[in-house]
Amino acid sequence: MKKIGLLSDTHSVWDDRFATHFADCDEIWHAGDIGDIAIIERLEAVCPVVRAVSGNIDGMMMRRRCPEVQEFTTEGVKVWMTHIGGYPGKYAPGVRRLLAEKGIRLMVSGHSHILKVIPDRELGLLHVNPGAAGYHGWQKVRTLVKLTLDAGRITGLDVIELGAKRMNKI
């Protein structure tokens, strides 16, 4: 069993509540638009396993450290994570086919800044976009997500609302 913390679209903004909310997590996953490498370093200080993908605002240094796509299996759940992947009913070109062919059960993406948790019953997967943890964009509420993976099951999904707060850049 692993507890996973999910975030996306920090755009170089650190909030100390990331550490508070993810303190009990086994892994933290960042779905892109990280902004500053210091965000990854601070997440690594909270949790030893940080998986991250680069997003469309991330520069070359970030792209060297964080690939555009991560595909892995943990606790019996096949995961596919990217920044711009769409969502059930509106996947980016080629994504639906890829998800089906690979038997993905959990798709994590960011980009829209809007929290989305959508089951794709046809593909037998759960899509999660944790929304935006930073201030950039037009989202009204900053959000994080936590979930548990255990023996091929995805359970205990919690949405954490951070609300609006003055911007603290690294």
Q: Read off the pLDDT of residues 71-122 as tens digits, 9 standing for 90 and up.
A: 999 999 999 999 999 999 999 999 999 999 999 999 999 999 999 999 999 9
Q: What DSSP element (H or E) covers 22?
A: helix 16-22
Report the pLDDT value the prediction gives residue 170, as an integer from 0 to 100: 52
Q: Is the pLDDT of residue 156 over 60?
A: yes
Q: How does residue 163 score in pLDDT terms, banded at 50, 70 and 90?
A: confident
The chain-wide mean pLDDT, for the chain, equals: 95
- At residue 137, the pLDDT reads 85
CB 79 within 8 A of CB 6: no
**Measured CA angle at 144 (ends 65, 25), to 5 deg:** 70
141 Cβ contact partners less than 8 Å away, ≥ 6 residues apart:
115, 131, 161, 162, 163, 164
Query: pLDDT digit string (tens) for 9-39?
Result: 999 999 999 999 999 999 999 999 999 999 9
Q: Give the per-residue pLDDT at 138.
A: 78
Q: Which pLDDT score is estimated for 169?
A: 53
pTM over 0.85, yes/no: yes
Direct distance between the N- and C-terminal alpha carbons of the chain, in angstroms, rounded to an integer: 33
